[in-house]
Amino acid sequence: MTDVDFDVVVVGSGRAGTAAAYKLATEGLDVALVERAKQPGMKNITGGVLYGQILDELVPEFPEEAPLERHVVEHNIKLLHGDAEVSIGYRDLSLREEPNYTLMLGKFDQWFVERAVDEGTIFLPETTVKDVSQHSDRAVVHTDRPNGDLSCHAVIGADGVNTTVGRATGIQRTMRNEDMALSVKKVLDVGRDTIDERFNLDSDEGAAYIYTGYPEDAPTIGYFIYTFEEYLSVGAVGGLETLRWLGEQGYGGTGTPLYGLLEEFMELDTVRPYVKGDALEEYQGILVPEHSYDTLPDRYDRRVALVGDAAGLVLNKGYTFRGLDYGIKSGLEAAEAAIERTRDGNWDAFGRRYDERLENSYVLEDMKQHRHLPEFLKNERMYGAYPGIAIETLRGMYSAGSDAEGLTWKQAFRAFQQSDAGVTDLLKDGFRGFRSL
Amino acid sequence: MSVQDSLETVNWDVSEEAHITVDNELCVTCEDKPCLHLCPAQCFDYQEDQEGGIYFAYEPCIECGACMVFCANDPEKGAVSWSKSEGGKGVEFDFG
């Protein structure tokens, strides 16, 4: 077999790349894990919950060992409309049986990389990949280090949403505004006790809040609040095309950028009690892939596999975001495809075999099942008319001024009549929502 | 709170070389200038005396990649040349 520096070079030490390196190292392959930051996690940002079942299968002791923040036992969806909010809260003690956590990547990724190094991974920090080339008998990862070319049988591109591996190999098409959402996030230092009080939580319990409906009728704009051990994260996310449009329209007369929307959101009467206090610890920004199953970019070539965000494997379900676990699972499928190749030596089949494995995994099953959801979530009625109907109905039920109005269904019908949505819209959207969930 | 105030909480090990550059000649024909409100770190500033009205600073970049998508990848714009920051340099988050 060809003489190479490593069997596999993994580019990027987020959860996807590190899971791949960990798995490869445990199977005895020579694996390098390349990272451009000084330490793991320094360039990484999340606004989500780790659905940890897949990590549990790889590292069963992770709930005890890994630096996790809070065990998520409560989810809230909140629809905003003017000064009002209607919310659905779900709290369930049985969620304690599931390994789902909030986490801070600075600490978590450091731990995970240390585990992969313990298994035999060679970790190369402060190294930025400039190019990847594929040859008849090898692939080469070209880095910005002196003599920094790393030859290998296969490359796993786990280098995030702006993947150099995907762009340099020409695997990935050029991303446009329609493909991406922008997110900005603030981490607030409010302290453990204050979090427990404000969110009605006990010790290590955590909650996730998802908001939509502000500003009214602006599709794809949403917000989140997550509880960490002693910190809160509060963020805004919106499709780049919607954000460009909001700026062009001069929304609110001045063209409100996303960070302006986040500031306004944090000042809403219904939100301020959760996030108040001058406690900003860090401001962050990141792009989030916004594909549906049908618009996912290509993710492999002969000796190259893209995993995690680099392959666009993120799903906004409307009520939660999936991505952290998709990254880990896709990294593991790439590792398995490489392990298979050590048996038959046919490394040219690495990329294709990874893709087949991923297609049959729960990640793409999940995205396929929700293939109509991203389109559904771009419907502006979801961000204006429907929250309005819900709130007008509830106002009719609970406002003392409308006691005599009588039956609730009448009030619901009236609220519906007063909104901009038509009957056909409601039926169509109801069908679409049913189909996509 | 302004973006400038928010950025006070962020750390960088600034590289001597810019990882992102802007060709101002192409800003001249760009009418909507989305960079001014889409960049979350306000690296793009409107300054009348600059060619095309755009002053760009790479130092406060938080490396999100938005300008690659809304400018570099747009065939009608393309003023931004985008790459990742050099190894060990650029933004350093503590609370990702």
ipTM of the predicted structure?
0.97
Q: Which of A46, A127, A244 sits opposite B38 (nearest CB)?
A: A244
| pLDDT per position as a tens digit, A110-159 | 999 999 999 999 999 999 999 999 999 999 999 999 999 999 999 999 99
> Is residue A282 in a domain?
yes
Q: What's the total number of domains in chain A?
A: 3
> Is residue A89 in a domain?
no
Is the Cβ of B94 closer than 8 Å to some Cβ of chain A?
yes
Contact assessment for residue A127 and residue A148, using Cβ atoms and an 8 Å cutoff:
yes
Question: Is the dihedral angle over the CA atoms A247, A172, A185, B81 positive or is it negative?
Answer: negative
Shared domain for A128 and A221, answered yes or no, is: no
> Is residue A338 in a domain?
yes
Q: Which of B3, B38, B87 sits opposite A127 (nearest CB)?
A: B87
> Is residue A392 in a domain?
yes
Strand partners, A282: A187
In single-letter form, the type of residue at position A167 comes to: R
The phi and psi torsions of A180 (rounded to 5 degrees) equal -130, 145
A174 chain-B contacts, CB cut-off 8 A? 73
Residue A407 confidence (pLDDT): 57
C-alpha–C-alpha distance, residues A400 and A209, integer Å = 29
- Which chain B residue has the Cα nearest residue A248? B32
Percent of chain B residues past pLDDT 90, beyond the cut: 97
Question: Does B32 sit within 8 Å of A285, measured CB to CB?
Answer: no
Residue A402 confidence (pLDDT): 58
- Which chain A residue has the Cα nearest residue B93? A42
Question: Which residue in this structure is represented by tokens 């892939």?
Answer: A289
> Is residue B91 in a domain?
no
> Is residue A216 in a domain?
yes
Residue A403 confidence (pLDDT): 55
Q: Which of A145, A248, A284 sits opposite B87 (nearest CB)?
A: A145
Residue A176 confidence (pLDDT): 96
**CATH assignment of the domain containing B43:** 3.30.70.20
- Cβ burial of A67 (10 Å; 0-12, 13-18, 19+) is middle
Question: Does A258 sit within 8 Å of B40, measured CB to CB?
Answer: yes
Shared domain for A257 and A209, answered yes or no, is: yes
Which of these, A356, A344, A342, A346, lies nearest to A25 by C-alpha position?
Answer: A342
- Which chain A residue has the Cα nearest residue B64? A286
| pLDDT per position as a tens digit, A270-303 | 999 999 998 999 999 999 999 999 999 999 999 9
Question: Does A263 sit within 8 Å of B1, measured CB to CB?
Answer: yes
Question: Does B92 sit within 8 Å of A257, measured CB to CB?
Answer: no
- Listed in sequence order, the residues at least 6 apart from B47 whose beta carbon sits closer than 8 Å to its beta carbon are B53, B54, B55
Q: How far is B81 from chain A (nearest CA, A)?
A: 14
Q: How far is B49 from chain A (nearest CA, A)?
A: 22
**CATH assignment of the domain containing A122:** 3.50.50.60
Shared domain for A111 and A211, answered yes or no, is: no
Which of these, A16, A282, A129, A161, lies nearest to B63 by C-alpha position?
Answer: A161
Residue A249 confidence (pLDDT): 65
Contact assessment for residue A55 and residue A65, using Cβ atoms and an 8 Å cutoff:
no
Interface A-B, measured as beta-carbon pairs within 8 A, has a size of: 137
Which of these, A96, A108, A85, A89, lies nearest to A39 by C-alpha position?
Answer: A108
> Is residue B28 in a domain?
yes
B85 chain-A contacts, CB cut-off 8 A? 36, 128
Q: How far is A401 from chain B (nearest CA, A)?
A: 38
Question: Which residue in this structure is represented by tokens 């991406």?
Answer: A180
> Is residue B3 in a domain?
no
Mean pLDDT of chain B: 96
Shared domain for A430 and A393, answered yes or no, is: yes
> Is residue B38 in a domain?
yes
Question: Does A285 sit within 8 Å of B62, measured CB to CB?
Answer: yes
Contact assessment for residue A247 and residue B59, using Cβ atoms and an 8 Å cutoff:
no
**CATH assignment of the domain containing A184:** 3.30.9.90
Shared domain for A37 and A24, answered yes or no, is: yes
Is the Cβ of B31 closer than 8 Å to some Cβ of chain A?
no
> Is residue B14 in a domain?
no
Question: Among B69, B73, B80, which would you mutate to test the A interface (most chain A Cβ atoms within 10 Å of its Cβ)?
Answer: B69
Shared domain for A195 and A167, answered yes or no, is: no
Query: Which segments of chain A have a pLDDT < 50?
Result: 251-253
Shared domain for A26 and A150, answered yes or no, is: yes
Q: What's the total number of domains in chain B?
A: 1
- Which chain B residue has the Cα nearest residue A109? B96
Is the Cβ of B64 closer than 8 Å to some Cβ of chain A?
yes
- Listed in sequence order, the residues at least 6 apart from A317 whose beta carbon sits closer than 8 Å to its beta carbon are A370, A373, A437
Shared domain for A24 and A37, answered yes or no, is: yes
Which of these, A89, A38, A98, A43, lies nearest to A68 by C-alpha position?
Answer: A98
Shared domain for A403 and A366, answered yes or no, is: no
- Listed in sequence order, the residues at least 6 apart from A186 whose beta carbon sits closer than 8 Å to its beta carbon are A233, A234, A235, A262, A266, A280, A282, A283, A284, B6
Question: Does B90 sit within 8 Å of A43, measured CB to CB?
Answer: yes
Question: Does B88 sit within 8 Å of A38, measured CB to CB?
Answer: yes
Question: Does A128 sit within 8 Å of B85, measured CB to CB?
Answer: yes
- Listed in sequence order, the residues at least 6 apart from A358 whose beta carbon sits closer than 8 Å to its beta carbon are A299, A330, A333, A364
C-alpha–C-alpha distance, residues A265 and A173, integer Å = 34
Question: Among B19, B31, B64, B85, which would you mutate to test the A interface (most chain A Cβ atoms within 10 Å of its Cβ)?
Answer: B64
- Cβ burial of A425 (10 Å; 0-12, 13-18, 19+) is middle
Query: Which segments of chain B have a pLDDT < 50?
Result: none
> Is residue B93 in a domain?
no
A187 chain-B contacts, CB cut-off 8 A? 95
Question: Does A281 sit within 8 Å of B95, measured CB to CB?
Answer: yes
Question: Does B37 sit within 8 Å of A180, measured CB to CB?
Answer: no
Shared domain for A168 and A305, answered yes or no, is: yes
Do β-strands A6-11 and A100-101 pair in parallel, antiparallel, or remain unpaired?
A: unpaired
Range(s) of the domain holding residue A397: 384-436
Q: Which of A42, A104, A285 sits opposite B92 (nearest CB)?
A: A42
